[in-house]
């Protein structure tokens, strides 16, 4: 017998897909628009693929751009899944969602730029702060994932589990 306090199993996946999808769209749209004067949208997507393929990604045409898009959305969906897990299992996150989500977005920004990207095959150094890009991660990634988790995965503060 299912408990009313537990979300339907598909609620988690809906939150992952909606939160990760919208956050991913905001993030990659920002990256494309911010770099439009310098490089094509395909080149931005290839830069994502270069984390896996190295500089060869820039010679792969549409195929590596598509791979970059797939990798990007896979990562944002994983980010959403991690937040949903934390919101369900870590009281300080669950009870402070509107602070935890934006903080999570900022953490994603710094972890990606200072840890993940340097450990990848991406050929450039991103270890510097771009305030507008950080704001996109705080509000367009972290807050969006939080709102999707709240709406679809029944993640909410719990008086029973402070």
pLDDT at 154: 81
Residue 158: pLDDT band (50, 70, 90) is low
pLDDT at 156: 77
- Report CA dihedral (148, 152, 155, 156) to the nearest 10 degrees: 90
Least confident range from 44-48, 141-145, 153-157: namely 153-157
Give yes or no for residue 157 having a pLDDT over 80.
no
20-35 residue pLDDT tens: 999 999 999 999 999 9
Distances (CA, A) of 56 to 46, 48, 63, 64, 110: 9, 12, 12, 9, 26
Q: At what angle do helices 61-89 and 41-53 cross, to 10 degrees?
A: 70
DSSP string, 105-147: HHHHHHHIIIIIHHHSS--S---S--HHHHHIIIIIIIIHHHH
Q: What is the pTM of this model?
A: 0.89
pLDDT at 15: 96
- What DSSP character marks residue 7? P
Residue for token pair 């602070």? 99
Give yes or no for residue 10 having a pLDDT over 90.
no
Burial 66-77 (b: 16+ CB within 10 A, else e): ebbbebbbebbb
Give yes or no for residue 2 having a pLDDT over 70.
no
> Does residue 156 contact residue 95 with C-beta atoms inside 8 Å?
no
Give yes or no for residue 160 having a pLDDT over 70.
no
74-121 residue pLDDT tens: 999 999 999 999 999 999 999 999 999 999 999 999 999 999 999 999
């Amino acid at each position: 017998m299912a408990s009313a306090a537990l979300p339907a199993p598909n609620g988690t996946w809906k939150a992952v897909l909606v939160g990760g999808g919208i956050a991913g769209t905001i993030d990659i749209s920002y990256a494309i628009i911010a770099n439009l004067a310098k490089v094509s949208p395909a080149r931005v997507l290839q830069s994502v693929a270069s984390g896996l393929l190295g500089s060869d990604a820039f010679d792969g045409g549409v195929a590596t751009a598509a791979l970059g898009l797939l990798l990007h959305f896979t990562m944002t969906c994983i980010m959403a899944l991690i937040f949903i897990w934390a919101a369900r299992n870590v009281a300080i996150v669950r009870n402070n969602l509107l602070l935890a989500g934006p903080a999570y977005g900022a953490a994603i920004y710094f972890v990606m730029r200072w840890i993940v990207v340097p450990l990848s095959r991406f050929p450039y150094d991103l270890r510097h702060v771009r305030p507008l890009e950080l704001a996109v991660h705080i509000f367009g990634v972290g807050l969006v994932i939080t709102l999707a988790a709240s709406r679809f995965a029944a993640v909410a503060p719990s008086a029973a589990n402070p």
